Copies of this chain bind each other. A is one copy, B any other.
Amino acid sequence: MVGVSPAPARTSNEAIVAAARRILESDGLAAVTMRSVAEAVGVRGPSLYKRVPDRAALIRAVGASVVTDLAEALALVPETEDARIDIRVVSARYRTFVLRNPNGYRLLFDDLPPAEAPDPGAVAALGEPIVGAMLRLVGPRHALEAARTMTAWAHGFVSMELAGAFRLGGDLEAAYAFGIEAILAGVSASATRSSR
Contact = CB atoms under 8 A, between A and B. Distances in A.
Contacts of A165: 109, 120, 123-124
Given A120-B165, A167-B124, A151 B156 contact: yes
Contacts of A148: 157, 166, 175, 178-179
Interface stretch (A7-15, A34-42, A181-189): A181-189
Given A28-B111, A103-B111, A110-B111, A145 B167 contact: no
A98 to B, nearest CB: 12
Number of copies: 2
Contact of A159 (B29, B109, B113, B166): B109
A96 interface: no
A44 to B, nearest CB: 25
A30 to B, nearest CB: 7
Given A183-B149, A189-B189, A167 B120 contact: yes
A1 interface: no
